[in-house]
Amino acid sequence: MINKIFFSPGHTANKPGAIVEDLNEYQIAYTLTRAIEQHFVSEKRIVFGYNQPLKNKIEWINDRRNRIDLAIELHFNAAYQEKASGTEVWYWSEKGKTFAEIFQKQLLELQGIDRGIKKGVYWRLIKGKKVWFTLAFLRQTIPPAIILEPLFLTHLFEAAAIRSSAFQGRLIKVIEQGLGEILA
């Protein structure tokens, strides 16, 4: 049973993540998180966090006095290749994998391409060599953590979708449904 969920936009106002033309990853995630918070205003089992440096956020989540059972960040992907598109949810632990599956199923109701759920380890070619990275938010939190990546800001059609208030409303609704399923 989940007693408390921590939910926040990824990045901060000072380190906003991807910026693609008029799209600012943090600002979009912040706006959507505020709308989700309004839906759950009377739900005391969800705590929302904003504009915290990653280190501070992880320390707060890991503080046992806060009793967090699941941590979630909302992000938006960006890629060098404009054709990269789709929905994915990242996790670290096996318990996190279960929550990632729930959210991936909900996010796919938006009819995006299924990029699947992914363990928080990835690689990039740097000067011709494969260099491995881990996602600190997932790896360093004690409770299970997931990162939602509903779409790519660098994909022409997905960028157009996130600019639409109708699509934003649908995205908010499927995230709320995922949170509701976990809290049920």
Q: Cα separations (Å) of 35 from 30, 31, 67?
A: 9, 6, 24
Q: What is the pLDDT of residue 94?
A: 96
Q: Where are the domains of the chain?
A: 5-183
Q: What is the pLDDT of residue 172?
A: 98
Binned average pLDDT, 10 residues per bin, the chain of 184 residues: 94 96 97 98 96 97 97 96 94 97 97 96 89 93 98 97 98 98 95
Is the alpha carbon torsion for 70, 134, 26, 166 positive or negative?
negative
**Cβ-contact 66, 143 below 8 angstroms:** no
Gap between the Cα atoms of 40 and 11, Å rounded: 22
Nearest to 8 by CA among 63, 65, 62, 75: 75
Beta bridge partners of 88: 116, 149
Gap between the Cα atoms of 77 and 25, Å rounded: 8
Q: What is the pLDDT of residue 124?
A: 83
- State pLDDT tens for residues 114-148: 999 999 988 888 999 999 889 999 999 999 999 99
Q: What is the pLDDT of residue 184?
A: 92
Q: What is the pLDDT of residue 140?
A: 97
**What is the CATH code of the structural domain delimited by 5-183?**
3.40.630.40
